[in-house]
């Protein structure tokens, strides 16, 4: 995750909204391969999957962070639903905790999505960098 933050800070020499979206040809193939491996990682670990999706969409496909967040939310909805079914069929779910977390995430996601659309990519990028750094510190030291 620290490498991703480093990439986000060092790499952008052009603003993403000045670049054309690259969603066909070799970029489609590269992002499909990247999403395959992100899916494997997400199915096993889940932590930080959204960051990898954002990095793929912004670096390979040149999508803005706002567009990338919309796509990330839909992708995560689909594969989280599949994961939920798998764990549910195997009776490995703690429903009270899971539902509490789902309600909190839905409410937080609704607020943050409205906020990010109003504030734009610059603020979203700063927030993303800060949150990834805090998450990395938490995972390493706590």
Per-residue pLDDT of 43-89, as tens digits, reads 788 777 888 898 888 888 888 878 888 888 888 888 888 888 988 99
* Residue 16 binned pLDDT confidence (cut-offs 50, 70, 90): very low
- Give the mean model confidence (pLDDT) for residues 25-53: 87
pLDDT of residue 96: 93
CB 121 within 8 Å of CB 16: yes
Per-residue pLDDT of 91-120, as tens digits, reads 999 999 989 998 998 999 889 888 877 877
pTM above threshold 0.85:
no
Q: Which residue has the higher pLDDT, 8 or 25?
A: 25
Per-residue pLDDT of 121-139, as tens digits, reads 777 778 878 888 888 888 8
CA 118 – CA 113 distance, rounded (Å): 9
């Amino acid at each position: 995750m620290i490498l991703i933050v480093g990439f986000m800070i060092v790499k952008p020499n052009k603003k993403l909204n000045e670049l054309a979206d690259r969603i066909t040809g070799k970029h489609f193939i590269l992002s499909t391969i990247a999403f395959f491996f992100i899916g494997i990682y997400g199915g096993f670990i889940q932590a930080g999957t959204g960051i990898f999706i954002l990095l793929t969409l912004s670096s390979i496909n040149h999508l803005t962070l706002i567009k990338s967040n919309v796509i990330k939310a839909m992708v995560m909805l689909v594969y989280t639903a599949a994961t939920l079914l798998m764990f549910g069929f195997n009776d490995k779910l703690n429903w009270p905790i899971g539902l509490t977390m789902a309600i909190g995430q839905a409410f937080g996601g609704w607020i943050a999505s409205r906020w990010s659309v109003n504030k734009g990519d610059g603020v979203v990028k700063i927030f993303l960098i800060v949150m990834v750094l805090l998450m990395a510190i938490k995972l390493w030291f706590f």
